[in-house]
């Protein structure tokens, strides 16, 4: 068998094991290791005496991947971002943020729902966990919305959808993971997520205001806060802004001059700010220990997939599968844009059944080179490219699109997890109710993605400055 055939067979086997429910990290690692043994052995003509040699070389090749790939400064952003998320609960930020958001913006039509969107976006940004954000705000925001006459399903939909804004606004662990896997600048990707994240929130807000103006009996605006009341509530919510601003400034200084440091330092300073806030709010060792254990668990989960997939990637390189797939994609007669849209739709389907991180890590090693080839290669200039942007810019743009797609899947039936969580917090709501309530946001996200695809400048303007 040719290496490419071995690549296809092993990849098929990997998919079977993943569907069988094998933990993704280990399925990828095993596929990589088995593939390496197979390729090395095939080079010796499947001589039975040489099997031991092939096994040894493969085990040693795979055995150095975990340590060598994980010892990277860029990857250290992931645990710090996760730590920020777990500490954020103890910092009392959720209620503070909701209160501030309410006092400042609830006077617009559909005001309380709009406030909820911005409060969830803000908290989701630091917590980084869409699902947990939805759970928290289901408890805080839904009762207040119901009190002033919002439709129950719609209120639930707002919270479920708001939680998805997490992954684009810095600090975003999933963008860091993407950057590492495709070997692009982490800082630029973090920066690139900022405007699309805020943009998504704005699209939600416009949608709500539009609904409030056209639908009779929609929740009324909430006004009557004095400026004094408005400013009073700011200090408690300030750490969120500080964290986001710190991370952005450590990547890119908008006032000209050097960035303040590396993204790693920015993330750590952000974590430290939240830590101080949490201690001030009464966090003690027991809670810190809890947060550290949770951080460890989630970090390990992510790192295990990273090294598992990288063993598989090592094998893919030998099998030349990514380049073959890229050749095939570029040989298609369809326009590159149509192919890109098909790829994004495929992610929407896949995302219904799989966790975003697992899905991205498992598919990107093959899909990403193909997308780059579609644009005209890694080193293409903006003029010669299919999508009108240089190679590195295409990498950033595609990353934002894919991550937005993965978040989109958190509110799609049949297993949009955010909707389940909101229904889980509110015994009076069924999952179907939440899915119904989230439908307008579902459409809004579709529009957002279409806009990000049609106008890449929304994504690329900010990283282009840095």
Q: Which of residues 299-318 bind other proteins (CB under 8 A)?
A: 299-301, 303-305, 307
Contacts of 45 (CB under 8 A, 6+ apart): none
Place of tokens 């450590």: 250
Nearer to other proteins, 82 or 460 (CB): 82
Interface pick for other proteins out of 41, 90, 347, 368 (rule CB under 8 A) = 90
Rg, C-alpha atoms of the chain: 23
Question: How far is it, in rounded angstroms, from Cα 377 to Cα 13?
Answer: 30
Interface pick for other proteins out of 4, 9, 51, 66 (rule CB under 8 A) = 66
**Which range of residues in 46-54, 65-73, 142-150, 313-321 is near other proteins by CB under 8 A?**
65-73
Site string for other proteins, 344-363 (x = CB under 8 A): ---------xxx-xx-----
Helix (H, G, I), strand (E, B) or coil at 285: helix
Long-range (24+ apart) CB contacts under 8 A made by 383-391 are: 386/336, 386/337, 387/336, 387/337, 387/340, 387/456, 388/456, 389/456, 389/460
DSSP state of 219: P
Nearer to other proteins, 116 or 390 (CB): 116
Helices (H) and strands (E) in the chain, counts: 22, 0
Place of tokens 């964290």: 243
- In the complex, the smallest distance separating the C-beta of residue 261 from other proteins, rounded to whole angstroms, is 6
Place of tokens 């939240």: 274
SS (H, E, C) 42-107: HHCCCCHHHHHHHHHHHHHHHHCHHHHHHCCCHHHHHHHHHHHHHHHHHCCHHHHHHHHHHHHHCC
User: Is 295 a residue that touches other proteins (CB under 8 A)?
Assistant: yes
Q: How much of the chain is helix, strand and coil, in % rounded to 5? A: 80, 0, 20
Residues 216 to 235 in contact with other proteins, rule: CB under 8 A:
none
Residues 117 to 146 in contact with other proteins, rule: CB under 8 A:
131-132, 135-136, 138-139
Residues 163 to 202 in contact with other proteins, rule: CB under 8 A:
none
Interface pick for other proteins out of 105, 114, 158, 271 (rule CB under 8 A) = 271
Q: To 5 degrees, how large is the angle CA 409–CA 411–CA 416?
A: 75
CB of 237 closer than 8 Å to CB of 123: no
Nearer to other proteins, 261 or 464 (CB): 261
Interface pick for other proteins out of 10, 39, 91, 105 (rule CB under 8 A) = 91
Residues 407 to 436 in contact with other proteins, rule: CB under 8 A:
415, 417, 420-421, 423-425, 431
Interface pick for other proteins out of 50, 151, 232, 265 (rule CB under 8 A) = 265
Angle of the 130-147 helix axis to the 417-425 helix axis, nearest 10: 50
**Which range of residues in 69-77, 141-149, 208-216, 386-394 is near other proteins by CB under 8 A?**
69-77
Considering CB under 8 A, how many residues would be counted as binding other proteins?
A: 93
Question: How far is it, in rounded angstroms, from Cα 460 to Cα 396?
Answer: 8
Nearer to other proteins, 125 or 205 (CB): 125
Nearer to other proteins, 188 or 426 (CB): 426
- In the complex, the smallest distance separating the C-beta of residue 12 from other proteins, rounded to whole angstroms, is 15
- In the complex, the smallest distance separating the C-beta of residue 307 from other proteins, rounded to whole angstroms, is 7
Nearer to other proteins, 4 or 9 (CB): 9
- In the complex, the smallest distance separating the C-beta of residue 223 from other proteins, rounded to whole angstroms, is 25
């Amino acid at each position: 068998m040719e290496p490419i055939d071995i690549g296809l067979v092993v990849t098929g086997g990997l998919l079977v094991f993943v569907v069988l429910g094998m933990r993704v990290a280990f399925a990828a690692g095993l596929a990589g290791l088995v593939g390496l043994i197979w390729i090395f052995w095939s080079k010796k003509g499947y001589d039975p005496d040489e099997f031991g040699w092939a096994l040894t070389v493969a085990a040693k090749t795979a055995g150095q991947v975990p340590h060598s790939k994980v010892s990277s400064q860029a990857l250290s952003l992931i645990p710090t971002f996760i730590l920020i998320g777990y500490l954020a609960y103890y910092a009392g930020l959720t209620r503070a943020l909701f209160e501030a958001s309410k006092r400042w913006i609830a006077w617009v039509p559909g005001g309380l729902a709009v406030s909820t969107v911005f409060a969830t976006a803000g908290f989701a940004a630091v917590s980084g966990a869409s699902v947990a954000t939805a759970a928290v705000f289901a408890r805080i925001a839904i009762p207040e919305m119901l009190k002033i006459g919002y439709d129950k399903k719609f209120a639930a939909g707002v919270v479920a959808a708001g939680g998805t804004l997490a992954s684009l606004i810095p600090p975003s662990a999933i963008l860091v993971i993407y950057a590492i896997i495709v070997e692009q600048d982490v800082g630029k990707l973090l920066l690139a997520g900022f405007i699309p994240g805020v943009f998504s929130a704005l699209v939600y807000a416009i949608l709500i205001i539009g609904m409030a103006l056209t639908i009779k009996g929609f929740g009324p605006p909430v006004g009557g806060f004095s400026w004094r009341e408005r400013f009073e509530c700011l200090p408690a919510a300030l750490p969120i802004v500080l964290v986001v601003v710190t991370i952005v400034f450590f990547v890119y200084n908008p006032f000209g001059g050097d960035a303040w440091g590396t993204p790693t330092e920015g993330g750590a300073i952000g974590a430290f700010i939240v830590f101080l806030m949490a201690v001030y709010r009464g966090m003690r060792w027991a809670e810190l220990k809890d947060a550290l254990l949770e951080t460890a668990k989630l970090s390990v989960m992510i790192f295990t997939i990273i090294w598992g997939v990288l063993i598989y990637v090592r094998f893919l390189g030998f099998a030349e599968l990514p380049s073959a797939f890229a050749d095939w994609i570029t040989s298609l007669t369809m326009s590159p844009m149509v192919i890109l849209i098909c790829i994004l739709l495929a992610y929407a389907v896949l995302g219904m059944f799989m966790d975003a991180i697992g899905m991205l890590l498992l598919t990107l090693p093959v899909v990403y080179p193909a997308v780059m080839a579609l644009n005209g290669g890694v080193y293409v200039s903006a003029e010669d490219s299919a999508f009108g942007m240089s190679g590195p810019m295409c990498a950033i743009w595609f990353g934002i699109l894919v991550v937005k797609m993965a978040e989109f899947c958190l509110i799609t039936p049949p297993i949009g997890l955010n909707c389940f969580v909101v229904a889980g917090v509110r015994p009076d709501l069924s999952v179907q109710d939440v899915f119904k309530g989230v439908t307008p946001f579902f459409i809004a996200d579709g529009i957002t993605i279409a806009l990000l695809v049609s106008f890449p400048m929304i994504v690329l303007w900010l990283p282009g400055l840095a």
